[in-house]
Copies of this chain bind each other. A is one copy, B any other.
Amino acid sequence: MGISLGYNQYGKAECRMVHVDRSTPVHAITDVTVTSQLIGDFADTHLTGDNSKVIATDTQKNTVYALARQFGVGSPEEFALRTARYFVDGFEQVTGARQEVLLHSWERIVTSTGGPHDHAFAKGSAETRTTVVTKDGADEVVLSGLTDLTVLKSTGSEFHGFPAVPFTSLVETDDRILATAVTARWRYIGTEVDWDKSFSSIRQILLDRFAETHSLSLQQTLYTMGEAALEAHPELAEIRFSMPNKHHFLVDLSKWDLDNPNEVWHVADRPYGLIEASIIRDDAPAAGSAWDGVKGFI
């Protein structure tokens, strides 16, 4: 009848795992959320309910735990590559995999008298380090990044010069609060990378450029952040951003003879501006299907 199964993937989403490195009395913890998705010869279960090739999602979850026990977690990229290779290399019916690892931040508690504690931790900010590894046969693409890096500038941001088209009522400003929650993903060229070092450096560049750029638009801030990351990191093919403009509106108190020289702001929830763009190296290799499985534009 001319209808058939197209692209499909399946797996176990959001395996919540904490790994404790107890090799010394000074423990280290790695808190991750792992989503494992497999791609391959799975038409039968769709068409007839024959599960003889299906690696149960429960088994995928167990595998995540077992590999963490056998090899540790390491960086998110290492762990995602390990699980992707385990499934694709180990099972004939698995031709590809998409493995996502989110790394949640914790900080060591600093006690009054003892300094940094050796096994007590406090949760850090909502900022999360992310990676999605897409393996298609022998091809491996690593997208790494971060979400929920919420940043704000209390000055050094303008917005004007936009055209007065119909239904425009926004007033131009040369001093506003600029705030956003950065989601960024960058695509690596190859997999021989010092993942932790690369991540830390890119993150610092994004913060530097956000803080130090005198902004004429959130687009401009976004672009300069991405350009600087690509310039400093030849291992990157591309970087994408999704940056909501978290509007802060100056409260008008003039009705009551009060001025408000950019001091008191209302923080709005919705709607919000949303700026999304890719900055790309001209000779970047093709991305394949790496971006297909991530949320929205990035």
The CA of A253 and the CA of B220, in the complex, are separated in Å by 31
* Given A16-B271, A261-B22, A6-B279 contact (CB < 8 Å): yes
Q: Are A112 and B280 in contact (CB under 8 A)?
A: no
The CA of A248 and the CA of B276, in the complex, are separated in Å by 30
Q: Are A271 and B10 in contact (CB under 8 A)?
A: no
- Verify if A290 is at the interface (C-beta below 8 Å from B): no
Q: How far is the CB of A54 from chain B (nearest CB, A)?
A: 5
List B contacts of A19 (CB < 8 A). 263-265
- Verify if A207 is at the interface (C-beta below 8 Å from B): yes
The CA of A179 and the CA of B212, in the complex, are separated in Å by 38
List B contacts of A198 (CB < 8 A). none
Chain B, residue nearest A166 (CB): B256
Q: Mark A147-174, 1 if CB is under 8 A from B, else 0.
A: 0011111111001111101111110000
Q: Are B160 and A51 in contact (CB under 8 A)?
A: yes
Q: How far is the CB of A218 from chain B (nearest CB, A)?
A: 8
The CA of A46 and the CA of B217, in the complex, are separated in Å by 8
The CA of A29 and the CA of B179, in the complex, are separated in Å by 13
Q: How far is the CB of A29 from chain B (nearest CB, A)?
A: 6
Q: Mark A257-298, 1 if CB is under 8 A from B, else 0.
A: 010111111111111111111111111000000001111110
Chain B, residue nearest A236 (CB): B3
Q: Are B275 and A2 in contact (CB under 8 A)?
A: no
Q: How far is the CB of A275 from chain B (nearest CB, A)?
A: 5
Chain B, residue nearest A245 (CB): B57
Q: Which of A204-231 contact B (CB under 8 A)?
A: 204, 207-208, 210-212, 215-217, 219-220, 222-223, 227, 230-231
A contacts, CB < 8 Å to B: 1-22, 27, 29, 31, 35, 37, 42, 45-59, 61-63, 65-66, 68-70, 91, 106, 109-114, 117, 119-127, 149-156, 159-163, 165-170, 177, 181, 204, 207-208, 210-212, 215-217, 219-220, 222-223, 227, 230-231, 238, 240, 244-245, 248, 251, 253, 255-256, 258, 260-283, 292-297
